[in-house]
Structure 1
Amino acid sequence: MSLDDLLTSLRALPDSEPREEYLRFLTTAGDAALRRDGGPEHVTGSCFVFSPSFDRVLLCFHRKGQFWVQFGGHLEPQDATVAEAAQREAREESGISALTLLSPAIMDLDRHDLNAGFSCSAHWDVGYAAVVGPDAVISVSDESEDVRWFPVDKLPAHVPAGFGARLEHVRRTAMSLSDALLTQPGW
């Protein structure tokens, strides 16, 4: 996996404090930031999965965190990019083998501290989005207790702080991108 690819993707984002924090962290930590064993804080990839009308979101109940959240996890050596890791994690955790990202564009940045149930102290999560039909066959992985669709305006009670605002930002960004893709020839 190339640190340069992630830095290029981050630099393509609009200026923001989270973007600058990520750039500082990655510049300081270097390639170690992309490995689970590279230190107590490292990059993870995640994927928000929406219905085609963007009115529902597929979430998993995270076993260690004990909350509903998007799919995601650590980068693996076989992942060529963070986007590829996010897609792999979403496929593994949802059971939807045909799931593909809407775009390799970053849609969410969320650095979060972890509790004692985790072996690391913080994740620098990089989020992407996918769209699948709500009739897609889903399954629960070893890392989750449940996988379920929710209306985006009626999220379950147990979600991380700030999750609703992040979800709405990703939803709006993904909807705009989806509209732009549909107007391109060949779609």
Structure 2
Amino acid sequence: MTIADTSLHADAVRALTTWTGGDAGQEALRQDYLDHLAAHPDGMWRACRPAHITASALVLDLTGGRVLLTLHPKVGRWLQMGGHCEPGDLDLAAAALREATEESGIPDLTLLAVDGRPAPVKLDRHAVRCAGKDRPDNTHLDVQYVALAPAGARELISEESLDLRWFDLDGLPEQTDSSVRELVAIARRLTAHG
């Protein structure tokens, strides 16, 4: 294990230890994530089975009251930007910001800060098949942030998406799941928009 591996793992433990979920379900997930990291020194990486930490960010345009979602090619639903941690990620927030920037094509995104530091806003555990169609399901332990787009930001679709669109906060597409809708509601509340 490299210093970067240890540093990212330690940062995830710090981020989850200092974060408060706000309800019993989120607190239970937070403890599950911390237990996972305690049991798995490689718990940040895609190769960790049966679960691993991922990072995502909901991109919000505060000036227009809109959210940018990606139509995920494997899932067939509109989701926030996100994915696996990579060796170059300095911390969990940086992983979420990198994913949001890569998938949105928007430079200069900033993560919503709490007490001057980017902080998660929600956790979501979901089964995926990220190792390939002939491999068993794995579980993503997703740590979710809110990214704020600069005024006048223009998105640029990546090869990781079937489509990329801005939606009004009150006009989310039918192909969004309850997790995305909850994340949008949290973002709205935290930014006091709408």
TM-score with structure 2 length normalisation? 0.81
Partners of 1:115 and 1:151 lie apart in 2 by 30
Partners of 1:151 and 1:98 lie apart in 2 by 21
1:96 — aligned with what? 106
1:27 — aligned with what? 38
Aligned-pair CA distance for 1:66: 0.7
CA RMSD of aligned residues (A): 2.2
Q: Secondary structure at the match of 1:34?
A: coil
Identity of aligned residues (%): 38
Partners of 2:112 and 2:186 lie apart in 1 by 15
Contact preservation (8 Å) 2:108, 2:150: no
Partners of 1:40 and 1:54 lie apart in 2 by 40
1:166 — aligned with what? 183
Query: Deviation above 2 Å: which 4+ runs of structure 1?
Result: 115-120, 160-163
Aligned pairs (5 A) from 1:15-164:
16-29=27-40, 31-53=41-63, 55-103=65-113, 104-115=118-129, 121-133=138-150, 135-164=152-181
2:12 — aligned with what? 6
Amino acid at match of 1:112: H
Q: Secondary structure at the match of 2:103?
A: helix
Partners of 1:84 and 1:13 lie apart in 2 by 16
Q: Any gaps of 5 or more consecutive residues in structure 2?
A: 22-26
Higher deviation after alignment, 12-21 or 73-82: 12-21
Partners of 1:59 and 1:134 lie apart in 2 by 17
Aligned-pair CA distance for 1:166: 2.6
Aligned-pair CA distance for 1:171: 2.9
Aligned-pair CA distance for 1:134: 6.2
Contact preservation (8 Å) 1:59, 1:147: yes
Q: Secondary structure at the match of 1:147?
A: strand
Aligned-pair CA distance for 1:69: 0.5
Aligned-pair CA distance for 1:22: 1.3
Higher deviation after alignment, 154-163 or 81-90: 154-163
1:51-73 CA distance string (max 9 Å, x none): 12472111110111110010001
Contact preservation (8 Å) 2:58, 2:183: no
Contact preservation (8 Å) 2:72, 2:78: yes
TM-score with structure 1 length normalisation? 0.84
Partners of 1:21 and 1:167 lie apart in 2 by 23
Partners of 1:53 and 1:172 lie apart in 2 by 15
